[in-house]
């Protein structure tokens, strides 16, 4: 049993296994990033990557590393971390593995907002704004419909599944009413992809993570207590509804900004927290490990979609959906046992 560490008025009990797993995930993220940046049709030695990033490499290396590959990799890491963290928050709130943005309507809301912007001929900025707006509106709708003397986890999941179905129907309606070119663009965006992503996509997600990760860390301990039930949390002095509202706002913003950057990449938000929980052997959902697992999952899936399936490059969302669907089937089979 580890000894609590005190920092001023705060104390924490370090978990050695969670720390080791987190460091291993960081190392895996760095390794995947180096492989993704250095390999491809034009190979860039690892030693030349750093010089190219600092503007001291050859013009070709700087173009490939700084303008093409590095922004895509950084976007993938940031988007994966945002999805993983968002999924961990909502799975903790609902105490349900299916309580992730993929299933409770938030990702679908962001997708509907983005599709609406695409079929209306919006720019990249307008598509991103539409995604954020759609995510926020769907979250407000789900929260309002699920609220009854507070928000219970099972009500949030059930209402979210219903809203998710309605939003998917809205997407299909928009695609059938759009002209063929807009429908094709919207269909491609709905798959979720990191292709063509630049620093203008990576920077907003990185800023959102810098702002929202401290918020998530602040509510992580109350969320752990709330997993035991609202009454138990209130008994130890936790203000349940303000904590829940802050966690929902942080989770929704993370989901929205990630979808705005890469499209609705499915199943990362569901699978990452569960994998992190099994790796750390934690009784609850671990936020930082979930974020790191999401970053590794999305980056590895994008690398596989580019390299292993060459010369065909699939959108990363297609691969994550296939992997996530398989994982969901295995999870359901295990729960049945």
Confidence of residue 241 (pLDDT cuts 50, 70, 90): confident
The answer to whether residue 175 scores a pLDDT higher than 80 is yes
pLDDT tens per residue, range 279-320: 888 776 788 999 999 999 999 999 988 887 666 678 888 888
Q: Give the separation between CA 164 and CA 107, rounded to whole angstroms.
A: 8
Contact (Cβ atoms closer than 8 angstroms) between residue 139 and residue 151: no
The alpha carbon of residue 285 and the mean position of all alpha carbons in its chain are separated, in whole angstroms, by 15
Query: For residue 24, what pLDDT band results from cuts at 50, 70 and 90?
Result: very high
**Domain spanning 16-332 has what CATH number?**
1.10.3470.10
Comparison of pLDDT for 154 and 91, the residue scoring more: 91
Closest by CA to 145, choosing from 201, 108, 105, is: 105
Provide the pLDDT for residue 72: 92
- What does the alpha-carbon distance between residue 134 and residue 107 come to, in Å, rounded to a whole number? 9
For the cut 60, the answer to whether the pLDDT of residue 23 exceeds it is yes
- Report pLDDT for 40: 80
Question: For residue 35, what pLDDT is reported?
Answer: 92
Write the CB contacts of 331 (distance below 8 Å, at least 6 apart in sequence).
97, 274
Query: Residue 118 contacts by C-beta under 8 Å, 6 or more apart in sequence?
Result: 127, 182, 185, 186, 189
What's the pLDDT score for residue 14?
A: 55
Which one has a higher pLDDT value, 15 or 99?
99
Q: How confident is the model at residue 12 (pLDDT cuts 50, 70, 90)?
A: low
Place 1 in a pLDDT band, splitting at 50, 70 and 90: very low
Which of 54-63, 126-135, 136-145, 171-180 has the lowest average pLDDT?
Answer: 54-63
Q: How confident is the model at residue 330 (pLDDT cuts 50, 70, 90)?
A: confident
8 has pLDDT over 50: no
Give the DSSP H or E segment for 7.
strand 5-7
Q: What is the mean pLDDT of residues 252-275?
A: 91
Of 66-75, 131-140, 153-162, 214-223, the poorest mean pLDDT is in 153-162
- What 3-state class would DSSP assign to 10? strand
**Confidence bin at 13 (pLDDT 50/70/90):** low
Average pLDDT value for the chain: 85
Instruction: Measure Cα distances from 6 to 2, 10, 13 in Å.
Output: 13, 6, 9
């Amino acid at each position: 049993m580890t000894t609590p560490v005190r920092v001023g008025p705060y104390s924490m009990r370090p978990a050695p296994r969670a720390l080791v797993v987190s460091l291993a995930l960081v190392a895996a993220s760095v390794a995947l990033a180096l492989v993704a940046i250095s390999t491809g049709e034009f190979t860039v030695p690892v030693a030349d990557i750093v010089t190219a990033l600092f503007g001291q490499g050859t013009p070709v290396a700087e173009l490939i590393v700084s303008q093409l590959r590095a922004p895509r990799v950084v976007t993938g890491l940031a988007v994966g971390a945002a999805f993983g963290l968002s999924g961990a928050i909502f799975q903790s709130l609902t105490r349900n593995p299916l309580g992730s943005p993929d299933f409770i309507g938030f990702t679908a809301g962001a997708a509907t907002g983005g599709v609406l912007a695409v079929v209306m001929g919006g720019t990249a900025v307008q598509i991103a704004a539409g995604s954020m707006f759609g995510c926020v509106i769907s979250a407000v709708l789900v929260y309002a419909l699920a609220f009854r003397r507070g928000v219970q986890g099972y009500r949030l999941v059930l209402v979210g599944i219903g809203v998710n179905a309605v939003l998917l129907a809205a997407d299909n309606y928009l695609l059938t009413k759009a002209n063929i070119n807009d429908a094709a663009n919207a269909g491609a965006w709905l798959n979720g992809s990191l292709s063509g992503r630049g620093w203008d996509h990576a920077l907003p997600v990185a800023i959102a993570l810098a702002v929202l990760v401290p918020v998530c860390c602040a509510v992580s301990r109350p969320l752990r207590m709330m997993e035991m039930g609202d009454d138990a949390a209130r008994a130890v002095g936790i203000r349940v509804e303000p904590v829940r509202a802050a966690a929902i706002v942080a989770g929704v913003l993370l989901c929205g900004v990630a979808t705005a950057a890469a499209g609705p990449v499915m199943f990362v938000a569901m699978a990452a927290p569960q994998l992190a929980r099994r790796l750390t052997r934690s009784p609850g959902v671990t936020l930082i490990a979930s974020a790191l697992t999401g970053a590794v999952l999305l980056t590895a899936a994008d690398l596989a979609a580019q390299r292993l399936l060459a010369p065909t490059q699939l959108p990363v969302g297609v691969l994550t959906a296939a992997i996530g669907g398989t994982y969901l089937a295995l999870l359901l089979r295990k729960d049945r046992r």
